[in-house]
Structure 1
């Protein structure tokens, strides 16, 4: 009996243990399910959907200037420096720097920063990146920013030295540019370029790019800045039609989108939405291929300027939410001149006809205006110019092309007249040197003027701020008179944001910052 009783006790203990183990496994499984559900809820809450007006034109930061690309690759890549919210320069990949003399800069890098492939970023990567920017074969759109750089050297693993050929007042500000970033050499060599791949050090990693549909970024779990980013995933949805973006933000399909002034006004009283606005650093323009007749004659370009009613463009295209602008947008403050006082900004049809006659076109001429079909403001601007220029005998047809073809047309100077938008940047040198110096990386107009080149080069070399301002006043007046572009208006920018999105503040110099954004 004793042995039987012991056996039954042992059997009971074993049975209880099995039941307990089963319950424990079930509880753990349920606990795991609960944790996964919690994580699922968090992931769902922390996915930000953005409606984009354009497809990226490529993701290589050293080669692609399109804003549709910058807004994405600026989340993936980082440079040595950046601007803070007050437009003060601060370190990004560089923790500190010094300037031993007027032509040398030494940067000390943050340690332990990793590329998205897991490799540590070092001074050698900085050297490679800037050598790539300056290599003619790269054809980088920012090469002229760093044309004064003679050498870039890695002094040790975390120290890099730049030596310039002459003093350069723009050097530090240009290091904040979204394209002046550090890339890994092995990724470039494996893929030939970075147009379809992206490996940076930034807060987000590229997960997927489905052409004409969406780009998905995911949180960089190894990001070196504590508690950033807040979001787990960002999806950039391509919605070229503004009506589609308007509908998507209303219904909550997307959390954020840029809108025109007209569309923004339609959402002012929409429940669940906030409309944020800020004066942009952009301006709209008309660009001429000055190698082609009749635009190789500055009198023709001046005549078209005199025939242009810029205030009508501000009122009609931008619903009055734009200011008349020169090459340096008014939001740059004291760097910009008051262009409304310039003679070529006063609409004068009689004077315009006189200039056309002096240039050999007393009866006007026919031409074609090219613009991007997916930007309504560009199309509307082209149509207004078409109407206004008729008054001086210029008959213009309008050619609307898709965004990819538009970028190619811009870079190849394959249009006689191009309507578009440019950014003034954060230093007047970009507005003037970058776009209009004979050697400027973005001088796609075949424009060249020795006196202007000397002016902007002097402005770049001058370290005294007040003297620089005097030089750039003269340079702005000069380029307006020569008119390789007609500078039109600088618009307000509008962003519609769902009211459950926190931490988003657009700035004139950076309307895309999302590292502190989260959804409540």
Structure 2
């Protein structure tokens, strides 16, 4: 009898443990089209985005990487933004006025709070721009605002900028995103910088960053636009390999991902997925360290341009789904020029060899070319360029770099050449002055040309649009002729979205506006 009762108790214990195990396995549930951790009854919507890179720092004033900017754009805001028609629209400033040629005033929204709970005021605007202009900050947008002479707080909600000269792109740079973000002084004072923390006014709040895994954001419950955002959480899941992102979007592990043109055909016909294509505001480049003994000679850079067959890259790497580009891509509208007929865009090996001979380098030479290993299209582009330059006796060694190493190499001009992507911004000066003027914040190439600088300075002051267009047309032709970079192509961007995603409409200048997005 004792043995029988003992066995019955043992059997009941096994059943109890089994039920507990089943219950514990249900703590992660799927709700409202998104995956949420916790109680199924919470009904939270979590938007899952497959990211091809980890963020490289989170300080909005100093960070350049797109992998960071896509996240910072959800956390930080500036005074103005661009709407779907590329017109200025209110953000933290509800009104603005150009008082005269060199004076701008902004009236701020009242009741806007930072994520630390403190109200944003004009003093925060003043502090943010003074931080950008402080040389020790190393702000990437410092050259945007070098003409700012005074910043005057007129009241808690009014701020005034006085410039040293008429400056045509001022409002465009005010609306340039995270690089002109308004931040709280106390956050910088507490942490030294904002690389690992984030305190903005935007629709999402940073909850967690786990390297090589994910970045987790939560809805800003105190956001000043009532009812926005609609989703409760936003998670960027790091998936460097494109095949992993494709598998994740197919199975519903994520809701949104970017893919290369070659992968589009792999999801066509899948009723659960929608493919969205658009022209972005970026281009592929081959950058030169113009302090290099070989590359400081313009003729050598021109020879390389003549040896590089851009159309072969477009056809081979982009499946024909890209366009030739200059420093101002076509997607920026009528600011760009047609580069297809320019001499340096016509492959010509004989002419390239002649230029190398004139530069006394007919025997050839060796160069190192860096490229981010995590960007498959850029690696393939570098490999084609390696083959093409071999035809004119330039032996290229490709160095594949981890993402952080690539960012460092770009900042420090480490390699002889670098293959990468650049964004054109929203104003032609961002494409031309920012990257190539002697004092441009992103002129990492060591390039300097007095005549070019004078042309850029003229474009900054000219407020007549027809004259300004003419100036920047000349600037584009000059920089293509000088060739501190080769401008290769403007890719077509592809985004795959699950069918249960609604209210999402990517724009060339803002491909991740999630304010109106909902999940079914």
TM-score using structure 1 length: 0.92
Q: Aligned partners of 1:109 and 1:148: how far apart in 2?
A: 22
Matches within 5 A, 1:43-122: 46-122=45-121
Residue 43 of structure 1 contacts residue 232 of structure 1 at CA under 8 Å; is this kept in 2? no
Q: Aligned partners of 2:43 and 2:322: how far apart in 1?
A: 38
Matched residue, 1:502: 502
Residue 45 of structure 1 contacts residue 519 of structure 1 at CA under 8 Å; is this kept in 2? no
Matched residue, 2:338: 338
After TM superposition, give the deviation of residue 44 of structure 1 in Å.
5.1
Matched residue, 1:222: 222
After TM superposition, give the deviation of residue 265 of structure 1 in Å.
2.1
Matched residue, 1:308: 308
Residue 125 of structure 1 contacts residue 185 of structure 1 at CA under 8 Å; is this kept in 2? yes
After TM superposition, give the deviation of residue 415 of structure 1 in Å.
1.1
Matched residue, 1:292: 292
SS in 2 for 1:334: coil
SS in 2 for 1:235: strand
SS in 2 for 1:132: helix
In the alignment, is residue 154 of structure 1 matched against residue 160 of structure 2?
no
TM-score using structure 2 length: 0.92
After TM superposition, give the deviation of residue 43 of structure 1 in Å.
5.1
Q: Aligned partners of 1:183 and 1:246: how far apart in 2?
A: 37
After TM superposition, give the deviation of residue 41 of structure 1 in Å.
4.9
Matched residue, 1:123: 122
After TM superposition, give the deviation of residue 40 of structure 1 in Å.
4.9
After TM superposition, give the deviation of residue 322 of structure 1 in Å.
0.3
Matched residue, 1:491: 491
Bigger radius of gyration among the two: 1
* 1:262-312 CA distance string (max 9 Å, x none): 112211112200010101111000000101110110000000000010011
Q: Aligned partners of 1:345 and 1:196: how far apart in 2?
A: 43
Matched residue, 1:445: 445
Q: Aligned partners of 2:268 and 2:133: how far apart in 1?
A: 47
SS in 2 for 1:274: strand
Matches within 5 A, 1:189-338: 189-338=189-338
Matches within 5 A, 1:133-144: 133-144=132-143
Report the CA distance shift for 1:234/1:98 in structure 2 as closer, same or farther (over 3 A): same
Q: Aligned partners of 2:43 and 2:360: how far apart in 1?
A: 66
In the alignment, is residue 164 of structure 1 matched against residue 163 of structure 2?
yes
Q: Aligned partners of 1:333 and 1:218: how far apart in 2?
A: 35
SS in 2 for 1:296: coil
Q: Aligned partners of 1:482 and 1:96: how far apart in 2?
A: 42
After TM superposition, give the deviation of residue 365 of structure 1 in Å.
1.1
Report the CA distance shift for 1:41/1:365 in structure 2 as closer, same or farther (over 3 A): same
RMSD: 1.2
After TM superposition, give the deviation of residue 333 of structure 1 in Å.
2.1
* 1:458-498 CA distance string (max 9 Å, x none): 11110011000100110000000000000000000011100
Q: Aligned partners of 2:416 and 2:515: how far apart in 1?
A: 41
Matched residue, 2:405: 405
* 1:346-398 CA distance string (max 9 Å, x none): 10100000000111111211111110000001100000001111111111111
Number of matched pairs: 484
Q: Aligned partners of 1:380 and 1:269: how far apart in 2?
A: 28
Q: Aligned partners of 1:334 and 1:109: how far apart in 2?
A: 32
* 1:320-349 CA distance string (max 9 Å, x none): 110000000011221111101111001010
SS in 1 for 2:265: helix
Matched residue, 1:11: none
SS in 1 for 2:295: coil
Unpaired runs of 5+ residues, structure 1, are 1-36
Matched residue, 1:387: 387
Q: Aligned partners of 1:42 and 1:375: how far apart in 2?
A: 40
Residue 94 of structure 1 contacts residue 109 of structure 1 at CA under 8 Å; is this kept in 2? yes
